[in-house]
Structure formats: structure tokens, C-alpha cells
Chains A and B, each alone.
Chain A
Amino acid sequence: MKQPSKFRLAGKQQVAVFIVSMLLPLSSVAAAQPSADSNAEQVQRGEYLARAGNCMGCHTTRGGKPYAGGRELVTPFGKFITPNITPDSETGIGHWSEEDFWQALHYGKGRDGSYLYPVFPYTEYTKVTRQDADAIFAYLRSLMPVTQTNPPHKITPPYDNQFLLFLWRTWYFKEGVYEPDDSKSEEWNRGNYLVQGLGHCNACHTPRNVWGASQDDKLAGGEIMGTYWYAPSLISQREAGMGEWSVDEIAKLLSTGVTDHAVTSGPMATIVRQSLQYLSTKDMRAVAVYLQSLGEKRSEESSRKIPPMPERVSRYLALGEPVYVKHCQGCHGKSGEGVPGVYPPLAGNRSVTMTSPLNTIRSVLYGGFSPATAGNPRPYGMPPFQHIIRDHEIAWVVSYIRNAWGNLGSLVSPEDVDSSRGNEF
């Protein structure tokens, strides 16, 4: 019974194909439609992926033309100037082919075959699939070309040597597209792909050795090169490990910049604004699932014994209390409890108590708003105190909040405050 109907169907299809092929010569525009559509879809996907990778974050100067490069990235190895990646043929990547782009993203090689410096995170981008790389390239090709010549890198000798770079690569660069772990869910794998690949979270959230190489793909936290900010560990319970958070809360923090208990600040606020808030709900969830799996679970032994406080230390801490009452209490509360979703709590806040006091000191010095995002378009903020109170008062108050209300952290000196200044602005 089935056979004849199949034949009939085949017959209909043949007729349809015949009719379409008859129309082809008449209307080449209509015939080109499917491929144009798929190209538009590829460009759209590329735009989304370029956001996820925050290409714009580095390849745009403050207030400059998007993707036209020119931003200075300061490292211990010299000053790198990001290139123009708009399709301008003279000053951008107008002459590049899909293959050239793949060579750069996947192998860290320039169009002329030279080795690229890992300040361009090809060490992470190598995990990106060819299909995604091609989509990003198609998107970049679709941009309006911008003629903008950027100054050359100022690399400190001997790091300007390609042979040294070759050695570095041999040692530290592992080429290869992300390979899914079949023992884990599809969602977890997607999150891993986004975090370790395009998202290149590793570029900041990892300690680097003296040669500037990330310590494998563990997101164990580290000071961000050239920024005077500390990117906390995404594993440790004492830093920003999210093992005890719900997936929803992680996703909310990363897509809106704020939750009841936490706000993003410094470079992370910028990443949320420029990149993470644009991730689809599904991708953001995948990222959250993966990050949650990285985080340590709270262990019983983690309740630390607090040694009795020497008299000298409690006297030093007491200096901070009046400063807190005068300048901080109004928003953060009498007991450092904060206001959910508006002003973060300081009691029990791991970014206050973690080993590096850098971020807390900088928040006091420079203040800041949480990022304006679709989910939190009119953020509240913290005033800068660099003009209001002196370094020793900042040292007192930071020491105080690191040790009040059950918090426990090292003391901060006025020298620590002074050495936390400075940035790219």
C-alpha cells in the first residue's frame, strides 16, 4: 500500500524540481535567495558569537569606532596595540580569507605566517569550532570598513623575538577544537565551550607564570595584567567559586550585573555590559551550569578557627569603625548587611575577605556603578572616596570591614592603598 504513495510523492517532487529549474534562468535573484539567506543567518550568528567572545572589548578604543582597534594592552612584555579588524583593505582585514582568519584564531598565526602574541587569546580561541570561526569572520566582513591605521606594538626586547615566541608556543600552546566530554550533559559541554573557548574567561581568571602563560584551564584566579584588578578564583569557596550558588543566581549575576547578594565591579562589570548580557537565556544557563560545576562545595572543615586577636590588631581595627559609620553605613548598613539587589552586603562577602584586598581598595578609591544592562538599566552606585578620605583612613576602613561581623581577612596598610592606584584611564 505504501509503495504507490511514495512513488506519487517522488513524482510530485520531480515536478516541483522541474518547475523550479524552469524558473531559475528567469529569476536569478529568486534563485540566489536561499544562499543569501543562509549568509545573512551566518552573519547574524557571527555577530552573536563576536559578542560572546567580546572581540569588541579589545578591538575598540574608548569612544572609538567599533572593531577599528587601537586600544593599548599593557603587559610586562610590552605595550600591544590591538589591530583594526574591520574589512578595510588598507588598514583592516579586507584582504583576509576565511582561512587566514582560521589560522589566526585557531593556530595563532598572522596572515604573513608570523606567530601572534598570546595577548590575543588564541590559546583559548583554538577551542572554537571552524563553523563558529567562519561565522565570526562573515560578520566582521559585513561591517562597514573603517580606515584607521593604529600605531605598532611597543614590545620590550627580548620579547620581540619570533624564535622566543616559537619556544613559548611549543611549551604552552595546545592547539585543538573543544572536544565534548560524553560523560557530561550537553548543557555542561556548551558552557565549557563558551567559558574556556570564545569567552576566554581564562585570560583573566587564572594565575600566570613569569612567561605570561595561563596555568592550564583552571580558573583559579589571578591579578589581571596591566589593570590593577584581581580576577577571583572561580573554584575556591573563599573567592568567587559558585559551587553553592543556584544556576539561576549565577545566570542573573552574569546577565544583569547584580543579584540580591552580589554585584559585578571593575573589568567584570564591563564584560557583563559588553558581552555577557547579550548571551541567549539558553547559553547563559549553560555557562552557569558549567561554572557551578567548577566551584568547590562547602566542606565541614572549612569553618576556620579564629585565633584570639592581639590587642594591637584590635586597636588598629577600631580606627576603621568611625570611618565606616560616617561614610559607609548609610548604604551598607549597621552590620554590613547591605540592601538586597541595591547595595551589596559586606558581612560574609567573599570579595571583601579574599586574600587580595585589591578589588575592595579600588572600589573604595574609585567607586562605580554596576553595569547598565537590559535587566538593570538604571543601576545604583558607589561614590569614589579618593577625594574624600585619605589613604590611611581607607586602609583603616578596609581593614575594619575585612574583620567586622564575623569577617576574617588580613590588615591593609596605607601603602597597600597607594599601590592599588593606577589604571589605563
Chain B
Amino acid sequence: MKFIVFILLAMGSGLINAQEPVSPLVPDTLEQRVKPCTICHGDEDRAGRDAYYPRIAGKPAGYLFNQLRNFRDGRRYYQAMAILLENLSDEYLLEIAHYFSSLKYPYPEAAANTLSPEETQTVETLIHSGDPERDIPACSACHGKALMGVKPFIPSLLGLPHAYVAAQFGGWRNGGSMRGQIPDCMSEIARKLSQEEVNALTVWLPAQPITAEPAETEILTTELTQRCQTTLSGEGFTR
């Protein structure tokens, strides 16, 4: 019986495949299929130059895949993304994640650093050493020495617009960004920072020149691996 069903299914899918739309007018490419994404996230000329929408080109694929699913499934809240992704499958989202991850677009010029020398000093200490007394890890401990993220799950911190970085800190601190993910390490860490530190970070990060690619592997400490396990796991993710 099962065998017959299998044959019927195979025949059925063959028929459907034969009917799959192929048009000489529209390129059969992922680039064409993801037009709904690039209207905001930009193509080669605009990637990362928009005032708000983050650059997704070149970000680690596992990170993009997790975020696409988080938006679709309501764990990360952003209405436009939730509506757009509602009816897409994990398989397709994975393909889309790999596509954007593979793009090597030029980065925008770094923004001006308007911080005072003292503020810059505070930020650079947080970036490279954290604050063990407040249990704040160094940003570079997870996001890589160059802050360009670590494949496959950890995003880069550079090349993003100020407004986007500020909005993410706001979301983490108010619990609005990631809903229901426990443990959510960035919410927990962002709440430990003072408002002044957050403000300084959101100016400093977009002001950094980009000199590296996302790191291949940097081994996280056991403690950080434990603390950020939701970020570091991606069920269904394949390279």
C-alpha cells in the first residue's frame, strides 16, 4: 500500500514539476526571487547605506537562517518581516540565508566618530575586555576579534547603520526584540549596560572601518557557549 502511495506521490510531484513556471521574461535566479527583500536591504550599490535597514549581505548564513525563522515564527518581532515570511518553508529560508551570506558587496564608508576620547576609551574597554564585575563579557569574545562575526551563527557588529544598532539595543533592553527565547544572552547583557554606554556603542560601532571577513571559527568559552546557546544552535541548518 505504502509503495503504491509512494509511486502515486512521485507521479504527482512529477506532474507538478513539469508545470512549474518557467518564463523567458523573468530570470530563474534567487536574485530575482528575493526582490521583496532587496527593496529595503539594498542591492550591490545600496547595501548597508540605508538609514535603518541592516546590511545582510555577507553575514554568516546560520545567523541569517535563525533570524529569518525567528521573524516568521514570532520569536523576533518586526511586522513587515513577519508578514513577508509567513508562508515560506525552512528549506527555502535556508537557501535565501546562504544566498545573502554569499554576497560580497562593498561596505559603506565608516561614519564619523563623534565621541569624546573618554567615551571612546569606555567603549573600547567594553569591546575588548567587557566588565567582569558586572558580568558583561567582551563583545569580541563572541563576535570575533575583528567584530565581523563568527561563522555560522554569530553576526558581525560592523557595517550597520546607527539607527538599526540603536533600535536593537532598545529592543533588547525593553524585552521587545526577542520574545520567548530563553536564555537570550543579548537582552541580559544589554540590560547590564548603562544608557550612556549604549549610546556610545551605537556611535562607535558604525564608525569602524571594515578590514576583515567574518571569522571561520573562534572557539567560545564554555561559559559563553552555555550563556548564548539559543544563538548558537540552528536546528535544520546545513552549510
Contacts and interface: CB of A to CB of B under 8 A. Distances in A.
The majority secondary structure among interface residues of chain B is: helix
B36 A62 contact: no
A377 to B, nearest CB: 6
B39 A380 contact: no
Contact of B80 (A281, A370, A384): A384
Interface of B: 8, 12-13, 16-17, 19-23, 25-26, 30, 32-37, 39-40, 72-75, 79-80, 82-89, 91-92, 95
Contact of A339 (B25, B34, B39, B88): B25
Given A340-B23, A383-B39, 19 more contacts: A61-B74, A62-B73, A63-B74, A256-B16, A260-B21, A341-B22, A343-B26, A367-B36, A367-B83, A368-B36, A368-B86, A369-B85, A377-B91, A378-B33, A383-B40, A384-B83, A386-B80, A387-B40, A388-B39
The majority secondary structure among interface residues of chain A is: loop
Contacts of A382: 36
Given A62-B74, A366-B80, A383 B36 contact: yes
A269 interface: yes
B21 A375 contact: no
A358 interface: no
B142 to A, nearest CB: 25
10 contacts: A260-B21, A339-B23, A341-B21, A342-B23, A342-B25, A369-B88, A375-B17, A383-B37, A384-B39, A387-B40
B36 A340 contact: no
A371 interface: yes
A62 B22 CA distance: 33
Contacts of A386: 80
Given A341-B21, A375-B16, A387-B80, A63 B73 contact: yes
B190 to A, nearest CB: 22
A421 to B, nearest CB: 10
Given A63-B73, A383-B35, A425 B82 contact: yes
A377 B92 contact: yes
A381 interface: yes
Contact of B20 (A366, A376, A381, A423): A376
Contacts of A270: 86-87
Given A381-B35, A383-B35, A425-B83, A281 B12 contact: yes
Contact of B87 (A252, A341, A372, A384): A372
Interface in A248-279: 252, 255-258, 260, 269-270, 272-273
A340 B79 CA distance: 30
A374 B36 contact: no
